[in-house]
Chains A and B, each alone.
Chain A
Amino acid sequence: MKDNQKKTLELLDQHGESLHRLLSRLTRCEHTTSDLMQELFIRLSGGRGFAKALNPYAYAWKTAANLAFDWRRKQKINFEYLDPTMLSDESSQHTLEQMIQQEQINRILHITCGFNELARNVIVMRFIEQKSYQQIAERLGKNPDYLRSLCSKKLKHLQTILNKEISSHQKGGE
């Protein structure tokens, strides 16, 4: 068995679940997760970067996040209001709330796609994987205070874009 193949299999055994979880959270689609997971490991097994990587998990994590965000960027996101005729007889109010939240989540992920790679990854590690700034700093080799400030700025940025969209929807609906 070649070294790189062995390294990939070891990664799959040790961190397969965690990478699957990352992909499923970022894509929120089981089919896509399966596809991207397969693509990730094919890339890793054939890639020189992975073969040379000192921290294979960190390398794989970054590749997985890039794959998921690339996929999300290619998706057509329809930010339209929900159609009430569709909901009036087929869904309850609770479902509507759930759908609004799903919509918000998709929009947040879609906007996060547009951030630069570092900001995007810090946001994912901090808010989705719930890592401390110290842990993120160790992984990325950055200063935790810088990451804290970056996160705070990007959160504000997300809020501004989302609220702008909400305002324009409201104006459009009036």
Chain B
Amino acid sequence: MAKKLTEQDIIRNFEKITEFNAPKETITRDIDNIHQMLKEPGAQASPADQNVWRIIMQNKWTKRVSAAVIFIAILIGISNLPQSELSAAELLIKVSEKMANIKWAKNTSKTYLPGNDKPANSSTSITDVKNKQVFLVYEKGYLHQLDYKNQVKSVYRPDDNTMIVSKLKGKWVGPERKVKQFIEKLKTEGLEVKQSKEVIDGIEMTVIEYDETLNDINPEPDKYMSKMLFAGKSVKTIKKKLVINTDRMNLSSSQVSYFDPEDNPIARIVSETEIIESGPTDIYELGAPKDAIIINKIPDEQVKDIRKKISENQGSFTKNYVAVYIQRLAEKDNNRIMEALVIYCQGKKLRVDSFYSGSYAKREKLTEKRKDILQGSIDILRRHVPADEALAMHHVSIYDGLWQHKLEIRDKEFVLNPKQRRPDGDARGNDDLDDFGWRILWWLGDPEHMYEDEFSKENDLIAMELTAQGSSNRLPKRLALYVDPAKDYLYRRYIDKRILDAPWQIEKIEDCTQKHEDVKIYDIVEYAQTSAGKWYPKTITINGYSKTTGKKRQSDFNRKCKIFLIEENPKLQQELFDPQILE
């Protein structure tokens, strides 16, 4: 949760709440039940779905009464309470207390896929309670050490004999974690709990189970999507089971099974817990070789300072100007325009007229129809675009300080999009002049850290890097930023990479559903200054490629972008920003 929230983020979260809908059958069932209840004389609140456990955990008085019953039972020496749900509550709390006092625990976890008795993967974790450490052993020699005392995570990767040391997020929870999670879940969500006895290896065990059903959060009808995906499938039901050794009062095993909306099993994770006497003291004792190359990714405090300076400089760039941005194919024989923008900025107000090159005859004809609003921008662009190179409108967007309005050509027609409320600024945050020059890395991944290489050293640049691990449905991603402190913290180079075979990926991805690899390198190769001496980019090159994973053929991406600051502090007519003109 590193990113600060804007008002827009909060509104977006509210919109997510709006998307949340209980299944139709649940609504009908609840309404029918109430109908029946209201029609019966002397109707009472009859919590049909509640069992004793739910009542106990949801009501403070019943909780106190149950605690008193247990206390009295112990006092008068009744050791065998009836096999009711009440003993499940007592049992879980006792197990949690007992497990909180052990010194070492070992947990073996295996994931089974439907129709296969062999586990798809397995891992072992060893918990050192005294030193607040967890050691994890994965298949193929991957080792993790999670040091909660110092909040440091070490990951050994045998593929290239590297040890990645990074900041550990999260709070220490001992071996009682699973039992506590069980108690919390039941306490806060009031789920049904089942309790039974089972003899395993000649020992009588107590089995506690509950099923959790996830809601459909997809606003589109006929498509199911819950808040959880497992192996690329949307999970509808999660069945959890704890097996408790009542004699020793400890957790023996646990099982979590995931089911899709049609109730087909997706996967089953079986974990066995054992109390052990001792374990490794560090990752080397666990098996990592001493000569492993250490890559330190602990985020540097400097990152925060630099980010602050970038934001300050971006914020102080002039807010009253007219500018032109032209992006062309950087090929000798064909350097046609890919995008041309005329940008009018006045305080919070922003208007951007966007054009294509004129290879779209029909668009050109359409453009003619809106000469009333486009002529001024075309005249400005003509100073930089030869007369024989036609210009066809792509879109006109107006941000009036709160609302974003956009007129675009779509399917050979003018389409006025519904206006959008944007209290935090222009729509995409990438068509204002300062958006072209100042960048900040943000992605859900490992913490951003300072970085140094030949390019940063040679050019006296401050470099930062952020990587994100890939998974079965996401390619590994890397963002790197080289900032020039001598040029008002404008970036000099920005790299955005999304590739399958990534050197920063810790665990190998066997198969990824995302197949589109993409690499782009942005370089500011020429800078200019405003009359007040503020730097801005004059020429930017964008080079890279995109390709489909596993295929050799790639399409190259080579562009050259020119920025012309046409006028500073111009007197702009207010009708330029009047959304009415788009209608």
Measured CB to CB, the residues of A under 8 A from B are 5, 8-9, 12, 16-17, 20-21, 24-26, 28-35, 37-39, 41-42, 45, 75-76, 78, 80-86, 88-105, 108-109, 123, 127-130, 155-156, 158-159, 162-163, 166-167, 169-170, 173
Contact = CB atoms under 8 A, between A and B. Distances in A.
A8 B35 CA distance: 9
7 contacts: A12-B38, A25-B17, A85-B170, A95-B229, A101-B16, A128-B14, A163-B5
A94 B14 contact: no
Contact of A45 (B38, B134, B146): B38
The 9 closest A-B pairs by CB, nearest first: A127-B14, A24-B22, A16-B31, A92-B471, A81-B170, A98-B227, A41-B34, A83-B170, A163-B4
B136 A88 contact: yes
Contacts of A86: 177
Nearest to B472: A92
Contact of A28 (B20, B34, B45, B171): B20
Contacts of A109: 17
A94 B227 CA distance: 9
A94 B474 contact: yes
B49 A34 contact: yes
Contacts of B121: 89
Contacts of A20: 22, 27, 30-31
Contacts of A33: 22, 26, 30
A46 B515 CA distance: 60
A120 B138 CA distance: 48
Interface residues of B, number: 76
A83 B189 contact: no
Contact of B37 (A41, A91, A100, A103): A41
A2 to B, nearest CB: 9
B123 interface: yes
Nearest to B9: A104
A100 B146 CA distance: 21
A122 to B, nearest CB: 12
Contact of B13 (A9, A76, A88, A105): A105
Interface string B1-30: 111111101110111111011100011001
Contacts of A95: 227-230
Nearest to A108: B13
Q: Would you call the interface of chain B mostly helix, strand, loop, or mixed?
A: mixed
B191 A16 contact: no
A38 B49 CA distance: 12
B444 A93 contact: yes
Contact of B109 (A45, A89, A127, A167): A89
Given A81-B171, A104-B5, A128-B17, A39 B45 contact: yes
B31 A21 contact: no
Query: Counting chain B CB atoms within 10 Å of each CB, which of A29, A35, A45, A80 scores highest?
Result: A35
Interface in B44-102: 44-47, 49-50
Contact of B184 (A78, A85, A167): A78
Contacts of A128: 14, 17-18
A93 B227 CA distance: 12
B39 to A, nearest CB: 8
Query: Counting chain B CB atoms within 10 Å of each CB, which of A26, A42, A123 scores highest?
Result: A42
B38 A9 contact: yes
A86 B35 CA distance: 43
Contacts of A5: 38
A8 B14 CA distance: 30
Nearest to B27: A20
Given A76-B188, A105-B16, A38 B45 contact: yes
Interface string B149-176: 0010100000000000001111101000
Contact of A34 (B13, B26, B38, B256): B26
B111 A89 contact: yes
Nearest to B127: A85
A5 B123 CA distance: 60
Contacts of A127: 11, 14-15, 17-18
Contacts of A76: 187-188
A128 B15 CA distance: 6
A57 B387 CA distance: 65
Query: Counting chain B CB atoms within 10 Å of each CB, which of A90, A101, A130 scores highest?
Result: A90
Nearest to A79: B1
B554 interface: no
A123 to B, nearest CB: 8
A109 B109 CA distance: 36
Given A92-B471, A166-B5, 8 more contacts: A42-B37, A95-B229, A108-B14, A109-B17, A127-B17, A128-B18, A155-B10, A169-B1
Interface string B378-406: 00000000000000000000000000000
B16 A100 contact: no
B569 interface: no
Contact of B10 (A26, A29, A159, A167): A159
A95 B18 CA distance: 20
A6 to B, nearest CB: 10
Query: Counting chain A CB atoms within 10 Å of each CB, which of B9, B34, B184, B468 scores highest?
Result: B34
B43 interface: yes
Contacts of B9: 104
Given A9-B38, A90-B269, A103-B1, A80 B171 contact: yes
B459 interface: no
A21 to B, nearest CB: 6
Contact of B47 (A38, A83, A100, A104): A38
B166 to A, nearest CB: 11
B190 A166 contact: no
Given A85-B146, A95-B229, A101-B16, A8 B10 contact: no
B129 to A, nearest CB: 14
